[in-house]
Structure 1
Amino acid sequence: MTSAAFETATPDPIAYLDRVAATDIGRSYKERMLDELGIRPGQTVLDLGCGPGTDLASLARAATATGTVIGVDHDRASVDTARERTADQRTVTVRLGDLHDLPLPDRTADGARTDRVLQHVTDPARALHEIHRVLRPGGRLVMGEPDWGTLTVDHPDDDLTRAYTRYVTDEAVRNARIGSQLPRLAAGAGFAVPSVIPVTSVFRDAGAADAILGLERTTQRAVTAGYLTEEAARRWLDHLTTGPFLAAVTLYIVVAES
């Protein structure tokens, strides 16, 4: 079932996050999130689920030398990497912590962001209540999350596409529909939601799509979970590597105000 066109080994998590951030798609939506956050000099800004610190420098530039940027992540290796990468930036601190129980006092920050984090947490509603707690009145939260229910991969056999995408939404991602659920969940946590911005990524190259979507790795897991047979998976991947390719998925940038 393996193909030389696709990556079969699971990439290192930090390397994967760096890879996505370096793509045109990654740079574009991250810039839009930064614009929507509207950071002013001197403000305190949180990067919740900061990973290896990919976005901390851009937040620090926006907050200027008079501001404060705090990154929080639950993964020790990511926190260590983020601290190393921002060691020369005195306005940036990185803390080990859980989004469900943030290690921050009430009304700490003027702004916060989450970037493809809430799709993985145990309880997004609880995390949003915590974020609301640590934001000052009038503070702004900008979230970027995919809705994997929007994922489409063109294939002559629609049944194979449905089986693959059903596995993604049923099992591969904990909160697979979080992108479109965020406005409702944010409102339930006490936020106003002035805007929702859909960003649809369209892939015409199978290799570029695989670098982000992990097409073969996900297909292998779908076989193990019983969503596809080995023969069906082989037909699925064979067409993706040889036929004209198109895949798309929508990420929602949701702006919320406390």
Structure 2
Amino acid sequence: MTSTAFETAAPDPIAYLDRVAATDLGRSYKRRMLEELDMRPGQTALDLGCGPGTDLASLAQAVTATGTVIGVDHDQATVDAARERTTDQRTVTVRLGDIHDLPLPDHTVDRARTDRVLQHVADPVRVLSEIHRVLRPGGRLVMGEPDWDTLTVDHPDSGLSRAYTQYVTDKVVRNSRIGRQLPRLSAGAGFAVPAVIPITPVFRDVQAADKILGLERTTQRAVAAGYFTEEAARRWLDHFSTGPFLAAVTFYIVVAES
């Protein structure tokens, strides 16, 4: 089942986040999220699940030296990386914490963002409630999340494509349909939702797609879980190694206001 077209070892989590941010897609959607935040000098901005600090510098630039940027992440290694990367940013503070229970007082934040974080959390509703609590009246939250149920991978055997997407939505991503759910969940947490912006990246190069989707690693896990037979997995991957490739998934940017 192994082919030189695919990565077989999972990348380091920090390296993976850096990789995605460096792609044209990553730069494009992050820029759009920053625009939708509509940040102003002197504001307090919160990056929830900030990872290794990929976006903290751009937030700091937007609020200027008169503002404050707070990054929160639950993983000590990524917090350490974020702190190291922002040592020259005096307006930035990075905290180890659980975004289900934010270490912040009520109504102290002007802008907040989450970027591909809510698909992984245990309780998105509680996280949204916490964000609503810490935002000032009139504050803004911008979220970016995929809807993995929209994942489409072209293959001559459409049944294999459906099985692959089903495995991803059932087993790989905890909140796999969060993209489409965010407007409803945000409204339930007390937010107004003035904008929902769908972005549909299309992958035509199999190796570029593999760096994001981990095609072989995911297929191997799908075999172990009973979604593919070994023979079906070989047919699935062999086609991508030799034939034209196309995959797409819808990514939602959701704007919410307190």
- Please give the range of the TM-score, normalised by the shorter of the 2 chains: over 0.9
Partner of 1:163 in structure 2? 163
Cα distance in 2, alignment partners of residues 11 and 203 from structure 1? 20
Match of 1:24 in 2: 24
Alignment deviations for residues 104-144 of structure 1 (CA, whole Å, 9 cap, x no partner):
11111000000000000000001000000000000000000
Structure 2 counterpart of 1:204: 204
Q: Does 1:70 align with 2:70?
A: yes
Show the counterpart of 1:15: 15
Counterpart check, 1:94 vs 2:86: no
Q: Which runs of 5+ in 1 are unaligned?
A: none
Q: Counterpart in 2 of 1:252?
A: 252
The DSSP-based 3-state class of the residue aligned with 2:28 is helix
Kindly provide the amino acid, as one letter, of the partner of residue 233 in structure 2: A
Q: 1:186 — aligned with what?
A: 186
Q: For 2:217 and 2:39, locate their aligned partners in 1 and report how far apart those are by CA, in whole Å.
A: 38
AA partner of residue 23 (structure 2): T
Per-residue Cα deviation, 1:207-234 (whole angstroms, up to 9, x for no partner): 0000111111111111111100111001
SS in 1 for 2:137: strand
Match of 1:113, SS? Answer: strand
Q: Whole-Å Cα distance in 2 between the matches of residues 12 and 171 of structure 1?
A: 21
Distance (Å, rounded) in 2 between the aligned partners of 1:240 and 1:187: 41
- Structure 1 stretches of 4+ with a deviation exceeding 4 A read none
- The aligned residue for residue 58 of structure 1 is 58
Map 1:135-146 to 2 at 5 A.
Answer: 135-146=135-146
Q: What's the CA shift for 1:244? A: 0.6
SS for the counterpart of 2:200 is strand
**Which amino acid in the other structure matches residue 45 of structure 1?**
A
| Structure 2 Cα separation of the partners of residues 135 and 105 of structure 1 | 9
For 1:107, the equivalent position in structure 2 comes to 107
Name the count of aligned residue pairs.
258
CA RMSD of aligned residues (A): 0.4
Deviation of the 1:169 alpha carbon: 0.4
- Quote the residue 1:237 is aligned against: 237
Q: One-letter code of the match for 1:120?
A: H
How far, CA to CA, are the matches of 1:63 and 1:9 in structure 2?
39
Distance 1:187 1:149 in 2: 22
Question: What SS does the corresponding residue of 1:118 show, helix, strand or coil?
Answer: coil
The alignment's TM-score, normalised by the length of structure 2, stands at 1.00
TM-score relative to the length of structure 1: 1.00
Q: Quote the residue 2:2 is aligned against.
A: 2
- Give the distance between the partners of 1:242 and 1:98, measured in 2 at CA: 45
Aligned positions of 1:111-126 closer than 5 A = 111-126=111-126
Aligned identity (percent) is 83
* One-letter amino acid of the counterpart of residue 35, structure 2: D
**Paired AA for residue 15 in structure 2:** A
Deviation at 1:240, TM superposition (A): 1.1
- Displacement of 1:191 after TM fit? 0.2
Structure 1 residue aligned with 2:153: 153
Q: Provide the secondary structure at the position in 2 that maps to 1:52.
A: coil
Measured in 2, the distance between the counterparts of 1:25 and 1:176 equals: 20
* Whole-Å separation in 1 of the counterparts to 2:96 and 2:105: 15
| Secondary structure, counterpart of 1:39 in structure 2 | coil
Q: CA deviation at 1:241?
A: 1.4
Please state whether the residue corresponding to 1:71 is helix, strand or coil. strand
**Partners in 2 of 1:85 and 1:31 — Cα distance?**
20
- State the distance in 1 between where 2:59 and 2:242 align: 42
